[in-house]
Structure 1
Amino acid sequence: MTNSNISRRGFLRGGIAATATSTLLAGCLGMSGSNNGSNGGSEDPYSVSIKPMGEVTVDGVPETWLANNGSWADMGIALGQKPPEGVWLTDRYHTQYYDAIPEVSVDKSGMTQLYSDGISKEVFYQIEADVHVMDPNFILNRFKGMNQNDVNQIDQNIAPFFGNTIFSRGYKWHDYRYYTLYEAFEKLSKVFKQEQRYKEFKTLHEEFQKTIESSLPPESERPNVGIFWAGGNEPTEFSPYVMDEGTSFKQWRDLGVNDALAESDIGNLHSSRTHVDLETILKVDPDVLLFRGHEGQTESEFNETLVSFLKEHPVASKLTAVKNDMVFRGGPLYQGPITNLVVTERAAKQVYPDAFGDVTLFDPEAVAGIVNGN
């Protein structure tokens, strides 16, 4: 769907501007720990706007919610909320990153996976969340099983949608405003009435970025990186990513690396669903190879499987990154404010070991303090 104006009581069609106001019928927030928001638990209606939904009026702070992916789920955790009742793919919500933060954890054992060879509206009716933190256009344009009318009914009969597809900017159907990670985070903080937590994270993140920027090597000394999706531990076919302004590449943009694929004719997974072989990668020969699809592995597991395979492969073993031990996990598709801190610090130590090898870039205790309302 290309119309960017979506209302609580149904999507307006044919390019007509949305004028209806969304209403989120929810209870008051029930969470453990201190309420560190500005007006948490307020019964008075309030409105929050986000594209493509437009203005959404909220009757109370949501108690239960669904998240499209780990980006939005992590934002909720950062805002001191209970985990979402469900996410699109539970195995791509990488909660092991919370191991780096004391007294912060998420148990996914009871979390519903919304996707199962498509998507059914029935799962929304079964969960009956107070808000659906996801972009309905992602549902309509990427997966089978639901149509415009289904989304309208969910919006009207259960709860509204509130979200934007921010992880990639490669989808042609996304012809409305994008948000940066922290712009989206601020929007969600208003839904949950946790603006103060957002402000504290923003301050911490700004200091984090200043620390990184002060130690980055000159641009002429920064590596060219190639980011690919690699399925399995012995892949011979790969899906390439051209870095864009989406949140999934935030750590690499912040580290100032050069995109080895940007000037190539390889293509981009998000826009063309391209696949390439090792011979094609060798023609580009990036200084650093970053493989997605392996965040569920530890560093040692990754090295003992995929990296070992590449070292023994007749073509892959010729790659500069393989010869120089510069092959790493490429980070998650979805990252929020907490996970971004963790994966950015990891990435900095990987690509700039001389500058960041022994440096602590953020204080995990400070992160835990914000999350837990201390």
Structure 2
Amino acid sequence: MGDDSGELDGPTRRDYVKYGGALVGGSGLLAGCTGQSNDGATTTQEPIERTETAAEETEGTATASPEASYSVELSPVGEVTLEEPPTNVFTHFPWFPDMASALGQGDTVNSLWWDGTVAGLEYFTAGFDDFEIEWADEAGQYGFSKEQLYELDSDLHLVDPAWVTTQDNWSRADIDEIEDNVGPWLGNYYSSFHATPPQEWADGYEYHSLWGVFDRVATLYDERERYEALRSVRDDLISTVEAGRPPESDRPTAAYLSISADLSSIYQLRLNAPGYWNSHTRPLGAVDAFGDDEFSGPFKEIDMEALLEADPDAILALWTVTDTFDFGELKRNLRDDPVGSELSAVRNDRVYPQGTRWQGPLMNLFQLEMTAKQLYPEEFGAWPEYENGDTYPEFGADERLFDHRRVADVIAGDT
């Protein structure tokens, strides 16, 4: 990472982009110590007790100001105001490019990490006519430098600055420098699994829902109509799920896993945890096969014996609907393994593919439908057998849990 701290001469991005309000910081004390998880997330042994800023389904809406500028508030940056919608936007984590595409603004994204985002979104949107992932060629590497941000000269950086300061050669002063000389920051990474932010940012840090963050991004893009239309689709989907799922006493136990095809690594994830990484599993209310097992970070490595002890009715296997993963091999290896073959989910053929927990609103809609069918086939219709390379199933209109055509039309501009 770069560590330039020099000032630039001449006019800066501030001449064209206003950034209101100071970055929220402080020296609040953390409960517990922090570390680095396998996916780069800062974690803590004892998460700070906080609640999301509002109920996930009713989080407040930001709107354009009377002066036709576009203002939002989001922790930890406070207020961000743009004079006009951004046309050149830096992203890093996958949920923001998904948001841009959902708003018909995918061509504004100039950078992101992890090309698996492209494969995942391609899988879910295969049934959309003329849908293009404009940022498909922008995927780069994990992390970024100040030099890279100066070169891209973005109107907006959709990244949580609190997370950025955990990366090599990034300080609070560097964050301020980029804000002053290039453009503002907007992101809320630690809401992903309600992790504890760095100590410097902990005082006043608030959690937001996935769709609450999407709300703010839509306002800055001046895409309120698209957002409201998509939010209506999701609200209807949530209502359908809540009305149709069986009573809690009749729900299956499920294990939410990141598991390699050769079974050499198995990671347990929380099924019903707060945060937007679980925004497609939590609303379904299935029973976590591991109960209230506590661990720090977003996941915990386990072995096959621990999985058998939990013995879930269903296994949700993360990261498996891409052409880089052999889902058939995974199922064969589970059947052939002396311990895995004893699992109820394996015996009853209830090992299911999943997409990514790094989901934006588009993937969230499809993953809610997908997982509802996997966990509750009698209520919502069975999930079909998945073969490597398959695209998202073409369910009939009476089999869909939300209006796929409506979503495609909204993205295309027909709100």
Residue among 180, 201, 205 paired with 2:230 = 201
Give the whole-Å Cα distance in 2 for the aligned partners of 1:208 and 1:137: 33
- Residues 190 and 213 (structure 1), Cα distance of their counterparts in 2 relative to 1, 3 Å cut: same
Displacement of 1:106 after TM fit?
A: 0.5
Any stretches of 5+ residues in structure 2 without a counterpart? Answer: 1-18, 29-62, 383-398
Displacement of 1:119 after TM fit?
A: 3.2
- Residues 48 and 74 (structure 1), Cα distance of their counterparts in 2 relative to 1, 3 Å cut: same
Partner of 1:370: 410
- Residues 312 and 184 (structure 1), Cα distance of their counterparts in 2 relative to 1, 3 Å cut: same
Give the whole-Å Cα distance in 2 for the aligned partners of 1:77 and 1:237: 33
Displacement of 1:250 after TM fit?
A: 1.4
Residue among 237, 243, 255 paired with 1:214 = 243
Conservation of the 8 A alpha-carbon contact between 2:87 and 2:155: yes
Give the whole-Å Cα distance in 2 for the aligned partners of 1:196 and 1:350: 32
Partner of 2:132: 105
- Residues 138 and 262 (structure 1), Cα distance of their counterparts in 2 relative to 1, 3 Å cut: farther
Residue aligned with 1:251, SS:
coil
Residue among 70, 76, 92 paired with 1:52 = 76
Matches within 5 A, 1:245-256: 245-256=274-285
Give the whole-Å Cα distance in 2 for the aligned partners of 1:199 and 1:108: 24
Displacement of 1:293 after TM fit?
A: 2.9
Q: Which amino acid aligns with 1:68?
A: H
Give the whole-Å Cα distance in 2 for the aligned partners of 1:193 and 1:263: 42
Partner of 1:277: 303
Deviates most, 96-105 or 123-132: 96-105
Give the whole-Å Cα distance in 2 for the aligned partners of 1:354 and 1:197: 33
Matches within 5 A, 1:230-269: 230=259, 232-242=260-270, 243-264=272-293, 267-269=295-297
Q: Which amino acid aligns with 1:350?
A: Q
Identity of aligned residues (%): 28
Residue aligned with 1:290, SS:
strand
Displacement of 1:185 after TM fit?
A: 1.3
Q: Which amino acid aligns with 1:289?
A: I
- Residues 8 and 86 (structure 1), Cα distance of their counterparts in 2 relative to 1, 3 Å cut: farther
Matches within 5 A, 1:123-162: 123-141=148-166, 143-162=167-186
Partner of 1:27: none
Displacement of 1:274 after TM fit?
A: 3.1
Conservation of the 8 A alpha-carbon contact between 1:167 and 1:248: yes
Give the whole-Å Cα distance in 2 for the aligned partners of 1:219 and 1:14: 42
Give the whole-Å Cα distance in 2 for the aligned partners of 1:170 and 1:46: 29
Partner of 1:331: 355
Partner of 2:342: 318
Residue among 315, 318, 333 paired with 1:289 = 315
Residue aligned with 1:189, SS:
helix
Question: Given the alignment of the two structures, is residue 75 of structure 1 paired with residue 102 of structure 2, yes or no?
Answer: no
Give the whole-Å Cα distance in 2 for the aligned partners of 1:49 and 1:9: 9
TM-score (norm 2): 0.74
Partner of 1:85: 110
Residue among 348, 357, 361 paired with 2:401 = 361
Displacement of 1:137 after TM fit?
A: 1.6
Any stretches of 5+ residues in structure 1 without a counterpart? Answer: 1-6, 17-37
Total equivalences in the alignment: 337
- Residues 195 and 119 (structure 1), Cα distance of their counterparts in 2 relative to 1, 3 Å cut: same
Q: Which amino acid aligns with 1:290?
A: L
1:296-334 per-residue CA deviation (whole Å, 9 max, x = no partner) reads: 249xx6441111111111111111111111111233122
Residue among 260, 285, 304 paired with 2:328 = 304
Conservation of the 8 A alpha-carbon contact between 1:8 and 1:155: no
1:69-127 per-residue CA deviation (whole Å, 9 max, x = no partner) reads: 22222112111212421113222452212213333230444214251xx4322221222
Displacement of 1:144 after TM fit?
A: 2.8
